[in-house]
């Protein structure tokens, strides 16, 4: 009993510390929700890292020191950055009703240095079939542990959809959505509704 209580107290203290942790990495992110004729198929992510993280990560990834990322180095960078956060949906959270959808993987990964900052582009695959009536979905991009402070300006978010789909979207805060309560209060979501 004491061991269980002590373990629970340590776990609670650890989670509390994580919740108030200060960030070590900074990312500016933009997204595009991607639809095909069958519904939502993915979220395109564009992440730009801070200069310090960018310099250290690029220097580590550029193993041959030629100032360019080869296909092999890019794949290692992808695995090093996105691999550890795969179980966290690559920090892409798509809420439909009362459920977060699981990511189906990542595709179209690219990495490059632009103006001294590491920029990543990749698409996180999801699947929400389109129906005759509106489906409501909310998208947020965030690291709930706050190790990475992600600034995602949802006012800059966009949608790519074929003409046969009716898609409406807007940015707003996540207040009142209890499944997002672990997120910082200033995090915005992209609210969408879509139908045939």
Domain boundaries of the chain, sorted by first residue = 22-195
Residue 182 has a pLDDT of 86
Q: What is d(CA 25, CA 9) in angstroms, rounded to the nearest whole number?
A: 28
Sign of the CA dihedral with 149 first, then 153, 154, and 159 last: negative
Phi, psi of 32 (to 5 degrees): -135, 125
The stretch 131-140 carries a mean pLDDT of 97
Is residue 32 pLDDT above 80, yes or no?
yes
Residue 16 has a pLDDT of 42
| Banded model confidence at residue 110, pLDDT cuts 50, 70, 90 | very high
Is residue 46 pLDDT above 50, yes or no?
yes
Q: What mean pLDDT is reported for the chain?
A: 90
**CB under 8 A, 24+ apart: contacts of 73-78:** 74/109, 74/110, 74/111, 77/111, 78/106, 78/109, 78/111, 78/122
pTM of the model: 0.86
Q: What is d(CA 47, CA 32) in angstroms, rounded to the nearest whole number?
A: 12
Pairing of strands 39-49, 92-96: unpaired
For the chain, the 3-state helix, strand and coil shares in percent, each to the nearest 5, are 30, 40, 30
DSSP track, 26-62: EEEEEEEEEEETTEEEEEEEEEEE-HHHHHHHHHHH-
Is residue 39 pLDDT above 70, yes or no?
yes
Distances (CA, A) of 108 to 51, 120, 123: 24, 10, 6
Residue 129 has a pLDDT of 97
Residue 3 has a pLDDT of 41
Residue 8 has a pLDDT of 37
The stretch 103-124 carries a mean pLDDT of 97
């Amino acid at each position: 009993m004491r061991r269980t209580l002590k373990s629970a107290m340590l776990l609670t203290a650890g989670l509390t510390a994580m919740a108030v942790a200060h960030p070590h990495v900074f990312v500016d992110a933009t997204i595009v929700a991607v639809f095909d004729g069958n519904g939502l198929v993915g979220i395109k992510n564009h992440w730009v890292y801070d200069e310090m993280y960018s310099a250290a990560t690029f220097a580590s990834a550029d193993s041959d020191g030629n100032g360019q990322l080869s296909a092999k180095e890019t794949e290692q960078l992808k695995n090093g950055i996105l691999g550890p956060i795969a179980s966290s949906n690559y920090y892409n959270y798509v809420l439909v009703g009362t459920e977060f959808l699981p990511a189906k993987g990542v595709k179209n990964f690219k990495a490059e240095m632009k103006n001294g900052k590491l920029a990543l582009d990749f698409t996180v695959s999801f699947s929400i079939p389109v129906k005759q009536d509106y489906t409501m979905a909310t998208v947020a991009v965030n690291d709930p542990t706050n190790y990475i402070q992600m600034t995602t300006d949802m006012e800059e978010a966009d949608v790519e959809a074929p003409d046969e789909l009716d898609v409406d979207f807007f940015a707003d805060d996540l207040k009142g959505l209890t499944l997002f309560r672990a997120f910082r209060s200033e995090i915005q979501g992209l609210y969408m509704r879509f139908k045939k």
